[in-house]
Every structure is written in C-alpha cells, then in structure tokens.
C-alpha cells in the first residue's frame, strides 16, 4: 500500500510537454546516493532527451507544484539493444512497456513514491495492452531486490568493467521484466 499526502498529484505527460530539465535534475539528485560508484551525474537534460523516444511519456509526481518523483515510460522496443542479444528471435522486453529514468526526491525516499510510479506504469501497461513492464538497473545500486519484491525478475545480467558508463568499478547491469 502506498501512503502519500493528499497534496500529491501524478500527471502523465508526453515527453515533449514535460519539463525534462526538471526531471533530469530530480533523477540526478536521487542518484547522488550512488556517487561513490560513478564519476558523473546519471543524466543531463540532453541525455534525458536522448534516452527518450517520440513515444515516451513522463510520470510526474508533484506536491504543491514541486516535482518530487518522476519516471519515463515508453514502448520497450524503443530501448532494446540492436544485434545479437542472446535471446534468439524474441527478446523478453519485446512488446513490453519500458520503465526508466526513475527518481524520487531524497527528502521523500521511503514514503511510497517509487512504488506509486511502478504501480502506475503497470496500470498503464495493462490498460494499453502491453504484456509486461521492463526495466534495467545496476545490481550494485541495491535496486534488484527492490524490484524483485514487486514481482520483477532478472532476465539477463551482464558484467561490465570499470569505465563503462563512467563507473569507477566493475558493475552488473540487470534487465528485469514483470508480466502484467
């Protein structure tokens, strides 16, 4: 169960109508807790737009008009790596709804906003006929277990060396999926 204040609103905006600079800033503040792992911010305004597709939408949770949590959703097909992925003809993300660039204001962490974002993405996936929600996370962030408690499972895990994505040490990127 998510417990949030009555003053909290959740808006769903097409990426071109959203304040992606504010969303990128919030994601970076949320990812500051992982600063010991990486040499730079998680994203930038330009990087955020590069990760988005024309079909992306932003989930914006606001309290008294201030953005306190955010995530991006879009068809996972827009975010799948091209080439041999080891899954044969059909990647488990294919046809799913992608959930990414999620962040909760550090002052609001632990209050249910992340679960609210995930639940909304799952609800949208069901309403729009997506069979699953897909996401990617770095195991060293401790989020694999967070998503597993919500019913996601790791479908692929890859180890990368230090330097990849500006990480200071080797790390494991996990692709996860949950049927809805």
Domains and CATH numbers, the chain: 8-130 (3.40.630.30)
Q: What is the pLDDT of residues 79-127, one digit of tens each?
A: 766 544 555 556 778 899 999 999 999 999 999 999 999 999 999 999 9
Residues forming a β-bridge with 60 = 11, 70
**How confident is residue 46, by pLDDT bands cut at 50, 70 and 90?**
confident
Q: What is the DSSP string of 107-170?
A: GGTTSSHHHHHHHHHHHHHHHHT-SEEEEEEEGGGTHHHHHHTTT-EEEEEEEE-TTGGGBSS-
* Predicted TM-score of the model (pTM): 0.87
């Amino acid at each position: 169960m998510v417990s949030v204040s009555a003053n909290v609103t959740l808006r769903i905006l097409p990426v071109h109508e959203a304040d992606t600079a504010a969303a990128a800033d919030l994601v970076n503040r949320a990812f500051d807790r992982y600063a010991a792992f990486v040499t730079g911010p998680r994203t930038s305004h330009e990087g955020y737009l590069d990760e988005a597709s024309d079909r992306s939408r932003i989930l914006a949770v606001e309290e008294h008009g201030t953005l306190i949590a955010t995530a991006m959703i879009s068809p996972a097909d827009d975010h799948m790596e091209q080439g041999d992925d080891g899954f044969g003809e059909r990647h488990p993300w294919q046809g799913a709804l992608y959930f990414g660039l999620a962040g909760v204001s550090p002052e609001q962490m632990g209050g249910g906003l992340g679960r609210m974002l995930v639940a909304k993405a799952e609800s949208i996936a069901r309403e729009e006929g997506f069979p699953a929600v897909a996401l990617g996370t770095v195991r060293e962030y401790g989020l694999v277990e967070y998503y597993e408690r919500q019913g996601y499972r790791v479908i692929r895990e890859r180890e990368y060396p230090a330097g990849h994505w500006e990480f200071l040490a080797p790390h494991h990127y996990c692709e996860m999926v949950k049927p809805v």
